[in-house]
Amino acid sequence: MRIKKHPILGKLEEKEINITFNGREFAALEGESIAAALLANHIRILSYTEKRQEPRGIYCGIGHCYECRVTVDGERSVRACITTVKDGMRIESQGESPK
Amino acid sequence: MKYDLVVIGAGPAGMSAAIKAASHGATVAIVDENPAAGGKLLGQLYKEPKTGWWIGREVAKSLEEKVKRLGIDYFPENEVWAIFPQWKVLLNHGEELHTDYILLATGAAEKAIPVPGWTIPGVMSIGAAQVLNNFHRVNPGKRIAIIGIDALSLTVANELKLSGAQVIGIYLPPPDDFLDRISNPQQMIAYLSSLADAAPNHFLKFAGKVTQNEFIQKVSAAFYPYRGMKIWGIPLFLRKSILEIEGDKQAEQIKIAKISRDGLPEMESVKTIQVDCVCISGGLYPLSELASAAGCEFAYINELGGHIPLHSQEMETTQTGIFVAGNITGIEGAKIAMAQGELAGTVVSDRLGLLKSGTAIIKKAQARVEKARENALIKFQPDIEKGRELAVQFWDERT
């Protein structure tokens, strides 16, 4: 999913850092959003709705729809689309997946 | 903290205003909820006929560097929670900013098209896809379908393809009385034709020229081929709708149908196509909650994209000291937003007594906004000129 070489924007040169999502370790790039880092690792489901346990992911990308809420280092309901990754960040999806 | 000017929104309008005012000697703060400065600039990427590629993130970077060089206090990842007269701006991390002048440069947000299945992960707004792709450099999907045909969706389709994703087609939204303008094939063709002369790149220009063909215009959608046409290898379907998006845990397939002459889906034609991402383009509307919270008077101007705060030719709202610039005043391009921001920054500098021949300088800044409009390549709203005239008229009638 990562665009390592772009015909106009050139090569990706950001530094690699590590994050965890639901306990698993993943590589992320410095400066990108949590949502972008997870998508680059093929993760689309960021939360499940409370009543019907429906999966939710990135929708608006500008922090308005709140569909991408995740728990970051213990803090609940952080918007993955407008929060930058940091090395060692522990991210967890919110809500319960259907049984 | 006390400032001469507090700017809300670090996009093209807000940063341009802050830079202008600070360069005249004003003390300025900028607040933005995003971690990166630039607003809608961050995702922009298109080729201009004369000056080459417009790379929004680089424009944003150069504005941000000027902001830093001028010693402007920048509050990223901060939200404005309240504005009290006259004026106190409260931020969610606890700061209180005191000022006589506020500029609201909050930009725009996207209208949703709630197609069945639109909440499934993998379905996202066209703007989210644009930022993921061009700013974060992550393809939003490998096989992407787009719902909604407009200047933004055509441009983003091209950007997605450029970066290696496959765009399987650009489709109409499902027919709906509320969506007639964007779901009806005939109206769509008229709209595309109106884009032709103001197209930002060859891609859009081609889309426009094809529909300008007199024959197609006259007989319109009735004879428009179901198979669509390809533009730079991307199929554009003016007579097919995406009726539904399906997928258990993420978007897996779309249901598409042919649209009859009278704009209804032909149910016997329904087909299923595999995708892993669907982008929805429903158009933009001005983001104006703060202006409303601050008590500014509004007008609904469809041609500008929605409700806008009434404002003078000097960009001041009905609340003394509260100014607006950029997409909050109507949906237009980044260069116009920048010129509007410079105008607002100039007017505030004059009010602060920082300019010697203020009136003349303001006139020049106003002329630059008009010039930016004349040179605009992308017209997001087909009747923007009419919208601007109405905005001026509503203001004049009020005072």
* Domain edges within chain B: 2-109+284-398, 112-280
Which residue from A6, A57, A84 is facing B163, i.e. has the nearest CB? A6
Reported ipTM exceeds the 0.95 cut: yes
pLDDT tens per residue across span B212-228: 665 555 455 555 667 77
Residues whose CB is less than 8 angstroms from the CB of residue B119 and which lie 6 or more positions away in sequence, other chains included: A54, A56, A59, A67
Residues whose CB is less than 8 angstroms from the CB of residue B389 and which lie 6 or more positions away in sequence, other chains included: none
Tell me if chain A has a CB within 8 Å of the CB of B31: no
Q: Which of these, B70, B44, B65, lies nearest to B155 by C-alpha position?
A: B44
CATH of domain B2-109+284-398: 3.50.50.60
B250 with A81: Cβ contact below 8 A: no
Tell me if chain A has a CB within 8 Å of the CB of B122: yes
pLDDT tens per residue across span B355-372: 999 999 999 999 999 999
Confidence at residue B190, expressed as pLDDT on a 0 to 100 scale = 74
Same fold yes or no, B2-109+284-398 and B112-280: yes
Angle at B252 between CA B247 and CA B254, to 5 degrees: 90
Q: Quote the CA–CA distance of B32 and A48 in Å, as a whole number.
A: 28
Which residue from A4, A55, A59 is facing B124, i.e. has the nearest CB? A59
Range with the poorest average pLDDT among B117-126, B193-202, B296-305? B193-202
CA distance B396 to chain A (A): 34
pLDDT tens per residue across span B376-395: 876 777 788 999 999 999 99
Confidence of residue A3 (pLDDT cuts 50, 70, 90): very high
User: CATH: 3.30.70.860, 3.10.20.440, 3.40.50.10860, 3.30.428.10. Which one for A14-93?
Assistant: 3.10.20.440
Task: For A12-59, give the DSSP string.
Answer: --PPEEEEEETTEEEEEETT-BHHHHHHHTT----EE-TTT--EE---
CATH of domain B112-280: 3.50.50.60
* Domain edges within chain A: 14-93
Confidence of residue B99 (pLDDT cuts 50, 70, 90): very high
Which residues of chain A lie closer than 8 angstroms to B139, CB-CB? 1-3
A3 with B250: Cβ contact below 8 A: no
Task: Using DSSP bridges, classify how beta strands A89-93 and A69-72 pair: parallel, antiparallel or unpaired.
Answer: antiparallel
